[in-house]
Structures are given as C-alpha cells and as structure tokens.
Structure 1
Amino acid sequence: MTSKSLLIVAHTPSGNTDLMVKAICTGAREAQVNQLIVRRQAALSTTAQDVLSADGVILFTPENLGYMSGALKDFFDRIYYPVLEQKQGLPCAVVIRAGHDGTGTQKAIESILTGLRWKQAQAPLLCRGVWRDDFIQSCEELGKTIAVGIDAGIF
C-alpha cells in the first residue's frame, strides 16, 4: 500500500498556538492510520514542492489585526501559482486562533482556497476569545478526523 502525506502548515508565535499545533499533530498521528506520514512545517519555510507532495493540508494561523498571519500569507504568495494547476481539489482544513471573532481571517483564507480550488474537508475550526484548555482537544480531534479521511480517501 502506498503511503499518503498530511502536511500541517503553521505559524505559531506563542506557546499556546504551538500547543494547538502539537495537538493537531498528535491527533493525526494517533488516528491509527499506518500509511499516513504527518509533516509539520513552519509557514515561512514551506515550499511549493512540500504542497505538491502532500495528499492533504491543515493550515493553522493566529488572527493578526483581523487577518491571517503574515507568515501564512507569505506561504500562499509563494505557493499559489506553482501548485495551482496540479493540486486542484486538495483536501484541506483550517484552524484559526482568534483573539476576537476570526471572521476576517476566515474570509481571507477561504477566498485564497477558492482560487486554488482546494476542498475544505470540514468547516474551519475557530478558537475564539480568551484561551480555553478545550482548544487543545478540538485541535486533536481535527487532526484525527483529517488524517482518517485522507487515509480512507473520503476527502
């Protein structure tokens, strides 16, 4: 059986955002999917080749001034045209750590995903407001769900 690859592209400027992405990775790795390779990469160092070799992507960003982080925007700027034709229909999921409501961030990311023709495997996970410990569980569940779906070919 051929292995599949889940790429987690994240910008984690704080300890809490790093914990959230670690939980996504933990969920994906604990999904008991033997042939799935889970790769976590910083948004600023992720290349078009990384995306081209992925069977699915989870995007993580904090909300910055009502928008995605500059690092995630830079990621999109660099990979957009090099992957546009080859990765249409790529399953993806979005996680936003929003100090406020996250809607501006969500709209901006969804606009780019529409242009890329990537397919959101589920509604974005918006972790809004003050820090809550249940953000970790939600991230872990998302990682597990996406991993299982990619492995099974559902997404």
Structure 2
Amino acid sequence: MKTLLVVHHSPSPTTHELLDAVLAGAHDPEIEGVDVKVIPALATTVPDVLAADGYIFGTTANFGYMSGALKYFFDTTYYQCLGAVADRPYGLWVHGNNDTAGAVSSVRTLAAGMGLVAVADALEVIAPVDKSIREQCYELGGTVAATLME
C-alpha cells in the first residue's frame, strides 16, 4: 500500500471546504492501494514525510507568501528529507483573497529543491468556492492519489 500525505494549513471554513474536496478526490472509489494520511502543517514530522510516497500541500496565501504554518513545515523537514524524497509526486492548492502567486512560487521552489515532481498544475483559488472549484479540488486529490496506485 502506498501513502499519500496531505499537509495543510486550513484555518478558515473556506480552506476546510477546499481540503474536504481534495480529500474526497484522493478517496475516489476507483483509486485503490493508496492510504491517505492527513496532518496539519504544524504537526507534520520528518518521519511522516519520509514514510509517504506522494504529497499534497494546501495553504492560505498570506501577505504574498504561503502560510507561516506551511513554511514551518518546510523549515523543519526540508534538510532532513533532501535526497530521500526525490522524484516523488506532489500537488498543491492555495487559497487567497486577492493573490496566490507568491505562495505558489514559494512552495514550488521548496518542492523542486526537495526533488519532488508536480503531477498537476497548482490550484490557485481566489474566487468564492463553488461547484467548479470543488470539482477542481476533487480532481487534484484524485490525480495525485492515482499516480500512486500500484
């Protein structure tokens, strides 16, 4: 069984709605052999990262950057995981009130430094969450999880 680790900072009802839609996609009934482990960014440890086969990162965009919680996650896991997680797949969703570009760029830079491989375009959400956004979140979760199927 493969493990998909979902590392997120979801402090608002909107970001929880996005997380729930991503998780629904990762648990799509057609996806088999993938265990989805969900851990808030502030609680995720190096052993969690090393034990996973793929990742989905979710964050708010705060002042043009990823959330402090997700930054803390990268600060505490980055160097210990270098070389050990290269070539593993990842996906990303970011919610912001008016701009997500800086948050997306910063996560992409760190993920690339770790050698992770994006398997879907980053989902940048600025608009209110509607059916279309929920479907895109579902697709993101399903896409990353499907890449891990054995």
TM class by shorter-chain length? over 0.9
Q: Distance in 1 between matches of 2:29 and 2:109?
A: 30
Q: Is the 8 A contact 2:83 2:115 kept in 1?
A: no
* Matched residue, 1:87: 85
Q: Is the 8 A contact 1:31 1:144 kept in 2?
A: no
Q: Distance in 2 between matches of 1:108 and 1:59?
A: 12
Q: Is the 8 A contact 1:61 1:95 kept in 2?
A: yes
1:77 to 68, 75, 100: 75
* Matched residue, 1:131: 128
Q: Is the 8 A contact 2:119 2:143 kept in 1?
A: no
Unaligned runs of at least 5 residues, structure 1: none
* Matched residue, 2:55: 57
Q: Distance in 1 between matches of 2:144 and 2:117?
A: 12
Q: Is the 8 A contact 2:42 2:72 kept in 1?
A: yes
Q: Is the 8 A contact 1:31 1:148 kept in 2?
A: no
Q: Is the 8 A contact 1:94 1:125 kept in 2?
A: yes
Q: Residue 34 of structure 1: CA displacement?
A: 2.4
Q: Distance in 2 between matches of 1:132 and 1:29?
A: 20
1:17 to 15, 18, 37: 15
* Matched residue, 1:34: 32
Q: Counterpart of 1:131 in structure 2: which amino acid?
A: P
Unaligned runs of at least 5 residues, structure 2: none
* Matched residue, 1:44: 42
Q: Distance in 2 between matches of 1:135 and 1:61?
A: 15
What secondary structure sits across from 2:62 in the alignment? coil
Between Structure 1 and Structure 2, how many residues are aligned? 149
- Report matched runs for 1:74-153 at 5 Å: 74-128=72-126, 130-133=127-130, 134-152=132-150
Q: Is the 8 A contact 1:88 1:118 kept in 2?
A: yes
Q: Residue 99 of structure 1: CA displacement?
A: 1.4
TM-score, normalising length: structure 2: 0.94
Q: Counterpart of 2:6 in structure 1: which amino acid?
A: I
Q: Residue 31 of structure 1: CA displacement?
A: 4.3
Query: How well do the aligned residues superpose, as a CA RMSD in angstroms?
Result: 1.2
Residues 104-155 of structure 1: CA distance to partner in whole angstroms, max 9, x if unpaired?
1111111111211111112111112x31313222111111111112215xxx
Same amino acid, percent of matched pairs: 34
